[in-house]
Structures are given as structure tokens and as C-alpha cells.
């Protein structure tokens, strides 16, 4: 590999989005939403947006960037009302463009507004897009063309309301939507929230003194002073207005909560299905120490998500826990691209070893997961350069062998390092050699499930075992750019028809 092409740094697994909603007359709902999104920033750092309404009109403000980059005091002060939703985005469907930022906004036939935020990923986007396109609801080209499954949902929801209420439109639309979705949406008066029948992604309801809050994680309820009421159930639609909270079932629940939320995605101070995320990760570390013991002098975690499991590993093994890596808290998504020299430093942008702690030690390094292996390879090399005698890597998740189609940006199967060979022992040895560790151990899927304290039948572990609980369409109807591809095909077809109709020579056929 040439100096002009340094090894690509592995991006960690990332989820699509975080959603937040508040109905609270007399409160500064835009500011509450801002702080709620701040607590959910880890779920998406590409874009952020807030919609607010006062009963008569709706205002939406959104842009690319972190929550703190998009909003300032002056902007929030101008967003008055009693109901608001917010969204922070990482894209799993549609490119990173302003047009794809959320909340999505649409006008209904009755002249009212609809704003929608979505966390998850749909598997019947192509089918829904065809319905929206046939109804003339989507732009097929141009700068105003959004290319997300969320925009398709917003268009169908607004169109479906017609003379009916938005609540009735949602009850009719949601049973036809397949995949992972947690939605917050609103009109000028009412806040709505909905969760897919499988409950893949988390969504919680909280109570304020003068209103209600919904959020992707309970940590966002804490930050705005809301008390946790309950999880929104799979297949449930909530409507919140001056009459209180109304609950409707639009589908029978078949819970398949994402196991990876417990392992990596959720904040450690959140609670999922009644189980503390931090306690789960510590317990995974304990089980990992039982399943993959090794003689060593010190246990360290890869901050932040590997640290609780490292604590559990140390507690169970009796080997001291230490802080061997310092994380730069201000390194995240940035619009300033690093120079060639800085890019070659790779992981040192984010982590730096404490040499006096590491030197001369046999280390156990606990990380949350391995996807492509680039990060772990660079980390092992860095620790050896810092003076570690041995580096034993332990992973607080089973091997990731399958891509996710429900809202996590995992690589294609060919890019997943644990997919190198089928035999488990041979795979572990191949990955160990690739990352340069003295030994490598993963927690078993059974051990992970035991730590989560949920029945295996109520969890989605498709990225580990390939058992997808929600049926997937053909490969051509999947992928991050499925909407863009379909819209581009429509645009090319329209252009050809126009050229042919005008007497122009029809272009030669091409595959799409």
C-alpha cells in the first residue's frame, strides 16, 4: 500500500438516528428538544433538526452538523410553541445531504403541516416508494429530491390524512410499513410516537410536570428532568394532546429488540426493557472472563463502550483494572478533513496510550466489537510501541458476521473480518493473526444473551447469527441508496420518453 493510500480507518458501528418529542404547554419546548438531542448525539452526528408548532403554524429548522453546530440561543428563542420533535441523523438510507436531514416536513391536502423524525431502517422502502411515486408525491430529480425512507413515510402520511385526521392516517399507513422504525411526528397541535411491531429500536415515554416526552433512550428523559413512565410497546401508536395520552395498537407485537443496543449503541446510563445498559456490559465482561481467561497483569478497556466490560472482566478474573488509553473527547464527525500526515496516524486522533501504565505489562484489552479489524490492528500496534509485553484482545460481543438491515451501518458481509472462514476456531485464529494480538477471545452469543437478561426469542441477533426476524426483500430492493437508484431510474425513463416524444433519437438501452 502506497503512502498516498494509507489503511482506511475503521469506522465504528453507527446507528441511523435519535428521535425526541415533547408536548408541554408553557415550556420552552425547542430548548427541551435541543437538550434531548444533546443526550442522543451518539446515535447520529451527520445532521440535526427541530420542528416546533404553536397550534397555528409549524417551524422546522435543520442542517448538517452536530446539535451544537446547528442550533444557537437566537435560533431556539425564535422557535416558540407547545409541541416539538427533534432528530439527530446518521444515514443508513440516503446520502448525507441537506435534503435528507430531518425532521421531514410535508403539507397535507387540508393545508396543515406534518413533521416526522425516524430512527431505524425499512425493508419495504421500494414498495412504499412505488406507492408514493404513483400518487405523485415525490420529486424524481433536482436539488429538492430527498432520498430517504423517512421522506417516503412523511409523504405517504401527509397524503393519507386527506380529510381524515393525522392519527387515522397513521393507523392506516403503519400496518403496511415493514422494518425497524421508531417515529416521532406531529401536526400543529398533537405529538405522535410509534414503534414497529418488532420493537427493534428503543423508544420511551416520560412525564414532565406540565407535559410529556418521548425519546429514543431514557438518558434523554433524564437530561430534561422527565420521569420515566414506560417503554412504548412494539406495534403501538401514541397520540399526545390536551386530552392526554391515547394509545392504539396498529399491529400485534413480536418483540425482537436489537442485542447490539446493549453491547454498543445505547448510552451506558440508559435503561432498555428494564435492564441497565451499564450493568449489562459489566456482566458481559464477567462472562467473557469465564469463557476466555488468560494470564496477564492488567485489564484495560477501549473507551468508552469497552470500559464497563473491562471492569467486569477485571472483577471476575481478579486481574487489576487500569486506565491505559486516553480518549480525545472532542474527536467526532468533522467537516475538516485531516491532512495526509495526520490521517496516517489513524487511531491516535482518538486514542493515546498512557505509556507509564502500559510499559512492561501483559495487557488484556477489552473492546466492544470487531467489524473490519482495522482499528484493533492499529490499536495493538500502538500498545506494543508503548511498551506492552503482550496484548490479549477480548471482545464483548460475538463475531459480527452479517450486515444489519434494521438501522445499523455495518459493512457488507464481504468486508466483515469474522466472515473469513466458517469454522469458528479457524476464524478466531485468522482474525488474531490479522490484528496482531497474542490471543483473541469473543464472548459467546449465549453469554451475551444471558447478560442482557432477555429471552433469546425476544432479541434480534441477526448481525451475529444471520437469523433476520423481519423478512428481507431481494437484494436489489435493499441498500443505502435504494431510493436514489429508483428515482434516478424514473428520471432517466422520463427523459427518454420526452426525447422520443419530441422526435429525438432514442438513446441506446442501458442496464440499471
Burial class (CB in 10 A: 0-12, 13-18, 19+), 510: exposed
Burial class (CB in 10 A: 0-12, 13-18, 19+), 136: exposed
- Answer yes or no: is 258 a known binding residue: yes
By residue count, the chain amounts to: 512
Alpha carbon 388 to its chain centroid, in Å, reads 35
Which candidate, 146, 50, 138, places its Cα nearest to that of 91?
Answer: 146
Phi and psi torsions of 87, nearest 5°? -150, 135
Q: Give ∠ CA 446-448-450 in degrees, rounded to 5.
A: 70
Residue 8 DSSP code: P
Of the CA atoms within 13 Å of residue 368, those in its CB half-sphere come to 23
182 catalytic, yes or no? no
- Answer yes or no: is 404 a known binding residue: yes
CA distance 155 to 112: 13
- Answer yes or no: is 305 a known binding residue: yes
- Answer yes or no: is 367 a known binding residue: yes
- Answer yes or no: is 460 a known binding residue: yes
Alpha carbon 471 to its chain centroid, in Å, reads 20
One of 10, 13, 15, 17 is an active-site residue; which one? 17
- Answer yes or no: is 182 a known binding residue: no
CA distance 322 to 303: 12
- Answer yes or no: is 88 a known binding residue: no
CA distance 395 to 403: 18
DSSP output for 97-147: SGGG-SSEEEE-TTS-EEEEEEEEEES-HHHHHHHHHHTT-S--SSTT---
| The C-alpha cell that represents 447 in the structure block | 453469554
| The C-alpha cell that represents 276 in the structure block | 441497565
Binding residues for Mg(2+): 305, 367-368
Active site residues: 17
Show binding-site residues for [4Fe-4S] cluster: 258, 404, 460, 463
Tell me the binding residues. Answer: 258, 305, 367-368, 404, 460, 463
Amino acid at each position: 500500500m502506497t503512502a498516498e493510500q494509507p489503511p482506511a480507518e475503521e469506522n465504528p458501528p453507527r446507528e441511523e438516528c435519535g428521535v425526541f418529542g415533547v408536548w408541554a404547554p408553557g415550556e420552552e419546548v425547542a430548548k427541551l428538544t435541543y437538550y434531548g438531542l444533546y443526550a442522543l448525539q451518539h446515535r447520529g452526528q451527520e445532521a440535526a433538526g427541530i420542528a416546533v408548532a404553536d397550534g397555528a403554524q409549524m417551524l422546522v429548522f435543520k442542517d448538517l452538523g452536530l446539535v451544537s453546530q446547528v442550533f444557537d440561543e437566537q435560533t431556539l428563542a425564535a422557535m416558540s410553541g407547545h409541541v416539538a420533535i427533534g432528530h439527530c441523523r446518521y444515514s443508513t438510507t440516503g446520502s448525507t445531504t441537506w435534503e435528507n436531514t430531518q425532521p421531514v416536513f410535508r403539507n397535507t391536502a387540508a393545508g396543515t403541516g406534518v413533521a416526522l423524525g425516524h430512527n431505524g431502517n425499512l425493508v419495504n422502502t421500494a414498495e412504499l416508494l412505488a406507492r408514493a411515486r404513483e400518487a405523485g408525491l415525490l420529486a424524481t430529480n433536482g436539488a429538492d429530491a430527498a432520498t430517504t425512507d423517512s421522506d417516503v413515510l412523511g409523504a405517504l402520511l401527509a397524503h393519507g390524512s386527506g380529510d381524515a385526521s393525522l392519527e387515522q392516517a397513521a393507523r392506516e399507513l403503519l400496518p403496511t410499513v415493514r422494518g425497524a422504525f421508531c417515529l416521532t411526528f406531529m401536526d400543529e397541535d398533537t405529538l405522535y410516537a410509534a414503534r414497529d411491531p418488532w420493537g427493534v429500536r428503543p423508544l420511551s415515554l416520560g412525564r414532565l410536570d406540565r407535559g410529556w416526552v418521548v425519546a429514543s433512550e431514557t438518558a434523554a428523559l433524564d437530561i430534561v428532568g422527565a420521569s420515566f413512565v414506560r417503554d412504548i410497546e412494539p406495534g403501538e401508536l401514541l397520540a399526545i394532546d390536551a386530552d392526554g395520552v391515547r394509545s392504539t395498537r396498529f399491529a400485534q407485537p413480536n418483540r425482537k429488540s436489537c442485542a447490539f443496543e446493549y453491547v454498543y449503541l445505547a448510552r451506558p446510563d440508559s435503561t432498555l426493557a428494564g435492564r441497565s445498559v451499564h450493568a449489562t456490559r459489566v456482566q458481559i465482561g464477567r462472562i467473557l472472563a469465564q469463557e476466555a481467561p488468560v494470564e496477564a497483569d492488567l485489564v484495560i478497556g477501549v473507551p468508552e463502550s469497552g470500559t464497563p466490560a473491562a471492569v467486569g472482566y477485571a472483577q471476575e478474573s481478579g486481574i487489576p483494572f487500569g486506565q491505559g488509553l486516553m480518549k480525545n473527547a472532542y474527536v467526532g464527525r468533522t467537516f475538516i478533513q485531516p491532512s495526509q500526515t495526520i490521517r496516517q496516524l489513524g487511531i491516535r486522533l482518538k486514542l493515546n496510550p498512557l505509556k507509564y501504565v502500559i510499559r512492561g505489562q501483559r495487557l488484556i484489552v477489552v473492546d466492544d466489537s470487531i467489524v473490519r479489524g482495522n482499528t484493533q490492528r492499529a490499536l495493538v500496534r500502538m500498545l506494543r510501541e508503548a511498551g506492552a509485553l503482550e496484548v490479549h484482545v477480548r471482545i464483548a460481543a460475538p463475531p459480527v458476521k452479517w450486515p444489519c438491515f434494521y438501522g445499523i451501518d455495518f459493512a457488507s458481509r464481504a468486508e466483515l473480518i469474522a466472515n473469513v472462514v466458517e469454522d469458528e476456531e479457524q476464524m478466531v485464529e485468522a482474525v488474531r493473526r490479522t490484528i496482531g494480538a497474542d490471543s483473541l477471545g469473543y464472548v459467546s452469543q449465549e453469554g451475551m444473551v444471558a447478560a442482557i437478561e432477555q429471552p433469546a426469542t425476544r432479541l434480534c441477533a441477526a448481525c451475529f447469527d444471520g437469523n433476520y426476524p423481519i423478512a428481507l426483500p431481494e437484494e436489489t430492493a435493499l441498500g443505502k441508496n435504494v431510493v436514489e437508484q429508483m428515482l434516478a431510474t424514473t428520471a432517466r425513463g422520463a427523459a427518454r420518453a420526452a426525447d422520443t416524444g419530441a422526435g429525438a433519437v432514442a438513446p441506446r438501452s442501458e442496464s440499471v
